[in-house]
Chains A and B, each alone.
Chain A
Amino acid sequence: MFTRVLIANRGEIACRILRTLRSQGIASVAVYHHEDRGAPHVQLADQAVQLEADVPSAAYLDQAQIIAAAQRSAAQAIHPGYGFLSENAGFAERVAAAGITFIGPEAAVIRLMGDKIRARAFAIAQGVPVAASIDASDPGTLAARALAVGFPLLIKAAAGGGGKGMRIVRTSAELAASLEAAAAEAQRYFGDGRVYAERYIERPRHIEVQVLGDGAGNVVHLFERECSLQRRYQKIVEESPAPNLPEELRRELCAAAVSLARAARYRNAGTVEFVLAPDGAFYFLEMNTRLQVEHPVTECVLGLDLVAEQLRIAAGAGLAFTQAVLEPRGHAIECRICAEEPEHDFRPATGRVGILEVPAGANVRFDGGIAAGQAITPAFDSMLAKLVAFGPDRAAAAAELSRALEELVLLGVPTNIDYLGRILRHPQFLAGNLHTGFLSEHAAGLSAPELPQERAAATVAALLAQPDFRAAACDVPEPHASIGLWRN
């Protein structure tokens, strides 16, 4: 096992990885940009190396500096987390070339799954269902081929993924222009203008399967997660198991994921994502060759530490268990807490973490990368933390998460905490009627209700925090009015 690991990431996932390293007695090295110098992941690590970059997020993308930091600190392995360089095949290669273990799959597999057109072809070759699609070549037959697949179509970039660079085309009149625009966008954002178009499934569910492979052809699945509650292709609420899913379908999805990963001789953790159509048909979407944000719900229902499994596999010790011993228990739901204003079209917000009170409870887990006093700036992603609740069944997990959200206090920066609570209490959520359009469809029912008396109470509490107003209200001059407790 490694004695020192460098984490090439920040925020909540860096803190999450650090927790496992600490529990295993492995020394940790954090990297950070100057703007993150007060961040928890820097304070928690055994060692921290500052990276130089003009733009803070660029520091975490600087391959040369990160590898140099690993070499200087004698780290034997690098955990890339998610986002940043986690799915960068070139980085994986450079890390390996430097004699350091990259905690993740082989570069060739990262490259394969990162190219969505190649990944689809690979899935087809394994007999995994994929949605009918067309590519942008041969303009002469384009319209006919599109009609054969059927509208609406969803245009995707080969080098995209994670919801980036997608657009819906509903009529053949728009097709050629949309493909051209999408190709230009893809070239600009991903440096690769290849696009393809798939049959767009209306009201789909997004179901994904967690897999672990040892790189020698042995793969286990860790069951599925439901990630249908999304806004602009960003997941907001995730859970395991997927509600209202027939057992047979669950088996098929997991088997398809395993066969794909096995064929790729997959090493380490990965997730195979599927789209589930209302008629019960499912189609391969993409494979993410890294740990995902929502991995905690899998950990909760299986009682596992996925980061520990990643370290184990990377250290060459293989898989810790066979498929037969894995039995999920209960239900877990996670929600992503973001610095944004739901009532203003979810625009990202800035501020400072003034007060942070994390809810207690044996069945509640708070994975955060923030601390009281920390500035929240536009420099980084708006996700601040994840709140996860576990229960013996879905209703209990939802009730526990709703309670935890009400108890959570995060003041000083606007967040979506109240909005998340309303989702968790929505009758359609509780009935498990989920699809990727859920949040738009129920937008009206999810907006904040007006509670004039409560608002008045909040206003009074705020007024009495203003020294002048308070002094006038108490008819007692400052500073006496502010000292100590008093009763009216």
Chain B
Amino acid sequence: MNLHFEVDGREGEAEIIGRRPQLQLRLGESRHVVSLAQEGAGRFELSVDGVRYRGWRYVAGDAVHVRVNGRTYCVVFPRRIHKGENAGAQDEIRASMPGVVIAVHARPGERLAAGDKLLTLESMKLQVTVVASHASTVREIHVTPEAVFERGALLVSFEHEQRDTP
């Protein structure tokens, strides 16, 4: 799976490129070998490319605050409203900004094709229509017209389907 992230003003994509014998990840342009050790409430210990790191992390919405080696980082995973991009298997749509629901266009159980309308939202005085990014079946619509939602709020969930990994 790919996950878009931002840290220190840089954007990148994280991808799992291997799991055996160790976890291999691609972060943006670079590749890393990862192994995990201990974890506990807020604490972590892992090794990246053979170097051991111990630290703390705190999840706040779509940001994870990390303290390692006496330095603090804030890694953000922005959640995008899908508009026809194929960003890999995604079983839910979450709001990337606070806003209000103008209209609901789909129903639970409905089978949609890529591009079919799901919701019309208004955020920052702009109206946005959310469409299905690929053929999918709606499991549930979690909002109703005139509902106000926060950033990160769950809007739509889909039935899980097996897809070919690109």
Given contacts A459-B73, A462-B73, A488-B23, 5 further A-B contacts (CB under 8 A): A411-B65, A448-B71, A456-B30, A465-B57, A465-B59
Minimum CB–CB distance for A387 against chain B, Å: 13
Q: Is the CB of B69 within 8 A of A411?
A: no
| 1/0 contact string of A453-473 vs chain B (CB within 8 Å) | 111111111111110110011
Q: Is the CB of A454 within 8 A of B57?
A: no
Q: Is the CB of B39 within 8 A of A453?
A: no
Q: In the complex, what residues of B have CB within 8 A of residue A354's CB?
A: 42, 58-60, 65
Tell me which residues from 1 to 43 in chain B have a Cβ below 8 Å from any Cβ of chain A: 1, 3, 5, 7-8, 12, 14, 16, 19, 22-23, 25, 27, 30, 32, 34-40, 42
Q: Is the CB of B8 within 8 A of A455?
A: yes
Q: In the complex, what residues of A have CB within 8 A of residue B73's CB?
A: 455, 458-459, 462
Partner of A487, one of B37, B49, B59: B37
Chain B contact-residue range equals: 35 or more
B64 touches A (CB below 8 Å):
yes
Q: Which of chain A's residues has its CB closest to B40's CB?
A: A485
B103 touches A (CB below 8 Å):
no
Q: Is the CB of A458 within 8 A of B75?
A: yes
Q: What's the tally of chain A residues with a CB closer than 8 Å to chain B?
A: 44
Partner of A475, one of B19, B25, B40, B56: B19
Most buried by B among A409, A412, A418, A453: A409
- Docked CA distance A414–B67 (Å): 11
Q: Is the CB of A409 within 8 A of B67?
A: yes
A329 touches B (CB below 8 Å):
no
Q: Which of chain B's residues has its CB closest to A341's CB?
A: B74
Minimum CB–CB distance for B54 against chain A, Å: 10
Q: In the complex, what residues of B have CB within 8 A of residue A202's CB?
A: none
Partner of A460, one of B8, B32, B69: B32
Q: In the complex, what residues of A have CB within 8 A of residue B149's CB?
A: none
- Docked CA distance A355–B55 (Å): 12
- Docked CA distance A352–B5 (Å): 21
Known A354-B58, A457-B48, A486-B36; judge A462-B71 contact (CB<8 A).
no
- Docked CA distance A407–B67 (Å): 10
